[in-house]
Structure 1
């Protein structure tokens, strides 16, 4: 609803009303974000505990994990998440929990080896294969000559 503004007093009153409305909305948004953070606190804590347990169990050093993460790029991260989901959704839709777990582990391991450089190299190879190549030697065009042949002249 737009208020009718006739003079500066009405304009200042409308500005104050809008500032108060903005503050109320900001307070409401901060409350909502605090509730969301409170809901996510426990699952995040459980995830950290489980990941710490597996790191201790398999002996991966956190410094080695950061070195491994440095080699990963956005393509690798997308494939690590999307490949297991796509395989389980389209290739193994009615398989059991064990089969889906195995597919997820294998596909994540395979996705670690794929990065944007390998994808770019593959695309370049396909583009070179599809690209029409020019012939190495250009032939001279055949010129049709309908004039008098040189052997038919009389001397």
Structure 2
């Protein structure tokens, strides 16, 4: 419920009350984000350690990794996240943890090969195919034949 503001002092009081309320909400949000960061610190740490282990295991050079990161675009990043989620959600909904992790690894490897250029190339091929099929199916418009020759007149 809004307080009734009748004069300038009421307005200034309401403005100061809203500023205090905003500051309280900001403090609460900073506390919540700090708690979330504290909760997510350990899983992120474990993920980085595991990824570093696999990098060392397969012998990827850090310079090569930087080059690979430069070659990735937004389509690749979306597919690396979305493809495993979609496959596990729709194709393997009742599979176990091991199967879902294998699907996630395989689909992420497959998504690395897909980028904007490959998507636009496929779209261009499909549009060319559609355009060529429309050109083949078009026929010249036929003149309507009503049985009377166009140059005939009766005298």
TM-score of the superposition, structure 1-length normalised? 0.80
| 1:54 paired to 2:59 | no
- Runs of 5+ unmatched residues, structure 2: none
From 114, 132, 135, give the equivalent of 1:133. Answer: 135
Query: 1:108, 1:73 → 2: CA distance?
Result: 14
- Whole-angstrom distance in 1 between the partners of 2:66 and 2:83: 23
Structure 2 counterpart of 1:74: 74
Q: Could you say if the C-alpha distance between residues 134 and 58 of structure 1 is closer, same or farther in structure 2, counting changes exceeding 3 Å? A: closer
Partner of 1:107: 107
User: 2:123: which partner in 1?
Assistant: 123
Superposed CA RMSD in Å reads: 2.8
Structure 1 residue runs without a partner (length 5+): 149-155
2:135 alignment partner, SS class: coil
The number of equivalent residue pairs is 149
Quick one: which of 121, 145, 148 aligns to 2:150?
A: 145
1:65 paired to 2:65: yes
Counterpart in the other structure of 1:13 = 13
Distance 1:139 1:34, change over 3 A: closer
